[in-house]
A and B are shown apart, each in its own frame.
Chain A
Amino acid sequence: MTEVERLKEKEILMNGTQAVAYAAMYADVDVVTAYPIRPYTEVMDTISKLIADGELDAEFIVAEGEHGQFEAVKHASLVGARTLVGSSGTGWMYGMEAIVVTATDRAPVVAVIGNRALDDPGAYGVEHNDALMVRDIGWLLVWVDTAQEAFDTTLIAYRVGEDKRVMLPVGVSMDGGFLTHAEQLVRLPPKELVKDFLPPYDRGKYLVHPDNPISVAPQVNEDWVMEIRRQHDAAMERSREVIEDAYKQFKKVFGRFPGTTREIKMPEDPFVEPYMIEDAEVVLIGAGTVSKPMKVAIKSMRAKGAKVGMLRLRWFRPFPTREVIKYLSNSSVVCVVDRDYSMGSPNGGGVFYNEIRSALYDLEERPKVINFIGGLGGREVTIQDVEKIIEIGLEQRDTPVTKPVYWFGVRGERW
Chain B
Amino acid sequence: MQNEVKYIEIVYRGIFQKRLAKYIAEGIVYMARASGKSALSFGRYGDSPERNGVPAKYYAAVGEVNEEDLIGYSTRVEPDYADVVIVLDDTLVKGVESWAWQGVQPINLKLREGGVMIVTSQKRAEELLPEIPSKEFNWRLAIIRSPASFSGLWAFKDDMTMEKVWGAIAKVRPDIINLEALESYLKRKDKAQERIRNAKISYEELIVREIRAGEGRNYKYTPPRLPTWQEMLEGAVIPAVPFGKRNEQFKRGTTKSERPIVDFDICIKCRLCWIYCPDEVFDETPDGYYDIAYEYCVGCGICAEVCPVKDCIVMVDENLFKEYESPYNLWKKDKQKYKEWIKELKERGKKERVFVPGLGR
| Contacts from A to B (Cβ < 8 Å) | 104-106, 167, 205-206, 213-218, 220-224, 226-228, 230-232, 234-235
The reply to whether the CB of B359 lies closer than 8 angstroms to some CB of chain A is no
5 A-B contacts (beta carbon < 8 Å) = A167-B234, A206-B234, A215-B239, A215-B240, A223-B226
Find out whether the CB atom of B243 lies under 8 angstroms from the CB atom of A213: yes
Find out whether the CB atom of A227 lies under 8 angstroms from the CB atom of B235: no
Main secondary structure of the interface of A (DSSP, over half): helix
The reply to whether the CB of B1 lies closer than 8 angstroms to some CB of chain A is no
Find out whether the CB atom of A218 lies under 8 angstroms from the CB atom of B236: yes
The residues in B between 197 and 218 inclusive whose CB is less than 8 angstroms from any CB of A are none
Find out whether the CB atom of A227 lies under 8 angstroms from the CB atom of B229: yes
Decide yes or no: A104 and B236 within 8 Å by CB, A223-B226, A230-B229 being known contacts. yes
The reply to whether the CB of B46 lies closer than 8 angstroms to some CB of chain A is yes
Find out whether the CB atom of B77 lies under 8 angstroms from the CB atom of A228: no
Residue of B with least CB distance to A221: B46
The reply to whether the CB of B101 lies closer than 8 angstroms to some CB of chain A is yes
Find out whether the CB atom of B237 lies under 8 angstroms from the CB atom of A231: no
The reply to whether the CB of B228 lies closer than 8 angstroms to some CB of chain A is yes
The reply to whether the CB of B354 lies closer than 8 angstroms to some CB of chain A is no
What chain A residues lie within 8 Å of B238 (beta carbons)? Answer: 214-215, 218
What chain A residues lie within 8 Å of B243 (beta carbons)? Answer: 213
Find out whether the CB atom of A223 lies under 8 angstroms from the CB atom of B99: yes
Residue of B with least CB distance to A226: B229
| Contacts from B to A (Cβ < 8 Å) | 46, 77, 99, 101-102, 226-229, 232-243
Residue of A with least CB distance to B236: A217
Residue of B with least CB distance to A235: B234
Find out whether the CB atom of B77 lies under 8 angstroms from the CB atom of A222: yes
Find out whether the CB atom of A231 lies under 8 angstroms from the CB atom of B77: no
Tell me the bound Cα distance from A231 to B241 in angstroms: 23
In the complex, how many angstroms separate the beta carbon of B254 from the nearest chain A beta carbon?
Answer: 18
Residue of B with least CB distance to A101: B236
Which one of A167, A213, A224, A230 lies within 8 Å of B235 (CB-CB)? A167
Residue of B with least CB distance to A168: B235
Tell me the bound Cα distance from A231 to B228 in angstroms: 10
Find out whether the CB atom of A222 lies under 8 angstroms from the CB atom of B234: no
Find out whether the CB atom of B233 lies under 8 angstroms from the CB atom of A205: yes
Q: Which 7 A-B pairs have the closest CB atoms?
A: A106-B235, A213-B240, A227-B229, A230-B229, A221-B46, A217-B236, A215-B240
Decide yes or no: A214 and B239 within 8 Å by CB, A221-B46, A222-B77, A231-B234 being known contacts. yes
What chain A residues lie within 8 Å of B226 (beta carbons)? Answer: 223-224
Residue of B with least CB distance to A107: B235
Find out whether the CB atom of A214 lies under 8 angstroms from the CB atom of B234: no
Find out whether the CB atom of A227 lies under 8 angstroms from the CB atom of B228: yes
In the complex, how many angstroms separate the beta carbon of B233 from the nearest chain A beta carbon?
Answer: 7
Which one of B232, B237, B241 lies within 8 Å of A206 (CB-CB)? B237
What chain B residues lie within 8 Å of A206 (beta carbons)? Answer: 233-235, 237
In the complex, how many angstroms separate the beta carbon of A242 from the nearest chain B beta carbon?
Answer: 15
In the complex, how many angstroms separate the beta carbon of B131 from the nearest chain A beta carbon?
Answer: 27
Find out whether the CB atom of B236 lies under 8 angstroms from the CB atom of A213: no
What chain B residues lie within 8 Å of A217 (beta carbons)? Answer: 236
Find out whether the CB atom of A214 lies under 8 angstroms from the CB atom of B236: no
Find out whether the CB atom of B229 lies under 8 angstroms from the CB atom of A214: no
Tell me the bound Cα distance from A224 to B229 in angstroms: 9
Find out whether the CB atom of A104 lies under 8 angstroms from the CB atom of B235: yes
Interface centre among B77, B99, B236 (most CB of A within 10 A): B236
What chain A residues lie within 8 Å of B99 (beta carbons)? Answer: 221, 223
Tell me the bound Cα distance from A217 to B242 in angstroms: 17
- A214-B233, A223-B46, A231-B232 given. 20 additional CB < 8 A pairs? A104-B235, A104-B236, A106-B235, A205-B233, A206-B235, A213-B240, A213-B241, A214-B238, A215-B237, A221-B99, A223-B99, A223-B102, A223-B226, A226-B229, A227-B227, A227-B229, A227-B232, A228-B229, A228-B236, A231-B234
Find out whether the CB atom of B239 lies under 8 angstroms from the CB atom of A213: yes
Find out whether the CB atom of B232 lies under 8 angstroms from the CB atom of A222: no
Tell me the bound Cα distance from A411 to B227 in angstroms: 58
Tell me the bound Cα distance from A38 to B239 in angstroms: 41
Decide yes or no: A106 and B242 within 8 Å by CB, A222-B46, A227-B228 being known contacts. no
Residue of A with least CB distance to B77: A222
In the complex, how many angstroms separate the beta carbon of B242 from the nearest chain A beta carbon?
Answer: 6
Find out whether the CB atom of A223 lies under 8 angstroms from the CB atom of B101: yes
What chain A residues lie within 8 Å of B240 (beta carbons)? Answer: 213-215
Residue of B with least CB distance to A212: B240
Tell me the bound Cα distance from A224 to B228 in angstroms: 9
What chain A residues lie within 8 Å of B236 (beta carbons)? Answer: 104-105, 216-218, 220, 228
Residue of B with least CB distance to A104: B236
Residue of A with least CB distance to B238: A215
In the complex, how many angstroms separate the beta carbon of A169 from the nearest chain B beta carbon?
Answer: 11
What chain A residues lie within 8 Å of B233 (beta carbons)? Answer: 205-206, 214
Residue of B with least CB distance to A103: B235
Interface centre among A205, A215, A218 (most CB of B within 10 A): A215
In the complex, how many angstroms separate the beta carbon of A345 from the nearest chain B beta carbon?
Answer: 29
In the complex, how many angstroms separate the beta carbon of B280 from the nearest chain A beta carbon?
Answer: 15
